[in-house]
Structure 1
Amino acid sequence: MTAGQRWLPLLLFGTLGMLLSEFAIWNIAPVARLLDHGPLAASLLVVPWLGYALVFVVIADLAVRFKVRDAVGLVLLGSLYGLFNEGVMADKVFGPGLGPAVLGLRPLNMTFTGLSWHAFIDVPLGMLLVKLILTDRLGLGDPRLTRRGCAAALGFACWMYSWNNFAAVQDRFPAGIPARLQAFWLGCALALGGLSIHAALACAPMSAPAEILDGRKKAWVWGLMAAAAALRFRLAEPTAALFFTMVVLAYWGLFVLHCRLRPTVPERSLYEESFPAHGRLSWAKYLKLAAVFLSGFAALSALGLRKTFMALDAVMILAMVAAAVAFPALVVKRLVQAALAG
């Protein structure tokens, strides 16, 4: 297996993870501040891109080692990622935000987006998309535009327009996100997605690696993540850092117990099921889908349905928070039942 066959599918996973984590929810304020320093400053976006790629390499490694392919395991893995994202890569768990602080943490901030959006969307959907792309389940190699493809593009346009009106985004941009920023955001997402898909399919990996990270690579990657966590904890209050560590360990324990108490252990993880890769990318098809998506987004913007979609956002957020609160309790119930049955 060549380096490209090993790493380019992982880069695709990391790119999709970043797009779902940040682009799909319009976390655009940091980019706006960066662009204030000039167009060349946008090149610095490669740093968080590589950072996300590194984190999703670890997620893929855990998925392969623990043979994770079921929804519960993927959501637990996504929960761990969400805690790392919002508690280490960002300061949302510790910083000011929604609701009161409890032992130095913001439970509502931790629930949305860490234990809901990241848990239910980024990791499960990201890994599923990698499988569908590499195994040609999405039909991206066929240049013809299908009804299913158009429906998916328009559905994604509705999703992006909805979160474009997310209250947290509007707080940063009371008059709405400037058109040039929206164009940059959407164009960057489409370009990164297309190039990552093209690169992953061009290397044509025929088999999944036996392990994602071997001894030396594993030590380097985990060392970097531990250093980032240590730096974050130095900036947080000791009580908050201790409580956050306990939350992370609790979810890690649920993840490990779930994997060990499963009735059957699958032969391959969901990531490994992406191979052998035989998909293709037709740029003509991709550009047509992008045009449908952008047309749908522009049409929604012209219709002025801002208040309707803001209300829809509120409903989705409440549903995500409720699911995030109920999910660990349901996992514990399943684990107890599995232990008693065993």
Structure 2
Amino acid sequence: MKPKLLFLWENIGPMHQDRLSALIEHDYQVVGVEVTSQSNTYSWVSDETNGYVKKTLFLNQSTHNLSQVKIMLKLMLTCIPLKEHHFFFCHYEQPYVFFTAILLKLLGRKVFVMNNAKFDDSSRNILLELVKVVLYSPYNGALVGSERASAYLSLLGMKNRPKVLGYNTLSIERIRTNSGTVPAPKGLPFDKRHFSIISRLVPKKNLFMAIDAYTLYASKVQNPRPLHIYGDGPLESKLQEYIVKKKQLNNVILHGFIQSDDISKALGQTLALLLPSSEEQFGNVVIEAQAMGVPVLATYLCGAADELIRDGINGFTFTPDNPEGLAFFMHEVCQRKDMWNSLSKGTELTVYLGDTKRFVSGISRLID
């Protein structure tokens, strides 16, 4: 019988369901624990369990309104009776996670951290980094999203503990099924596709730069392809004002938040995905784009660029302060059908790296 596993996230969304469902398909016994039934970050809908046991610590509440002690006690009471389980925790920085991990370690349980943070995500403070060394101390190993994430954990005291790639994965089969079409370069014809951004509307997504780049691109072609932006967030009204200021109201469309099924459909109509982030731990939308054969234009700061994006093969990378560079790549994929076809076919070289089979493999390597 395969080992029993418990996974903890603040909220279990579609991406987490993909990963847990993949483990179920490989005959693992899985418990998925979410702190609350609603996410503080995403507006996603997540109800199905697909065979795993789902435990919600607090229904219809936000973690902002719950004390750390209250969450910690309930989490401990959930985990302690599961004597045969391996534990995989996200949110290492939260006190309720740290102290629960400490307790489980003292009880002789195997506890692993799931993380995709990289050193280059932000400026670093030596004192805070030393605190992180302590916060990571209870864990037997880590499931990470990228090579840079693995290197960062080595810097934080986990050099001699196993760190395995495969955390950031999605079900390629689900994405393709929900799209209602086939991956590019088949499906919607080249000349009918548009540019897409799928992102939260927050500062680190660097969306004003993307609009600058789009404006430069649009000035160089007779009939610019529209840019569709899917997502919600605090910058929505300011972005709308900026779109008007740049005279792109008819070309740049804000759609608001869409669910994962609709993301798949949108990518089925997309020429290229833009990911202009100035900070991006990974970028799961890169996996969704490649599942649909869509080339990706992303900044090198995205963790997904480590393995999934290969310049000139399935996309291009650029610096986050370079709208001219992004505009150039947009122009090239828009005007050169042969290049777009080649980039689209190139996604098949890396798409398997983002599939949930890799998540299962990573878990297996850590617990064996």
Please classify the TM superposition score into its range, dividing by the shorter chain length. Answer: under 0.3
Higher relative contact order (CA 8 A, sep 6+): 1
Point out the structure with the larger helix share: 1
Higher strand fraction (1 or 2): 2
Q: TM-score when scaled to structure 2?
A: 0.25
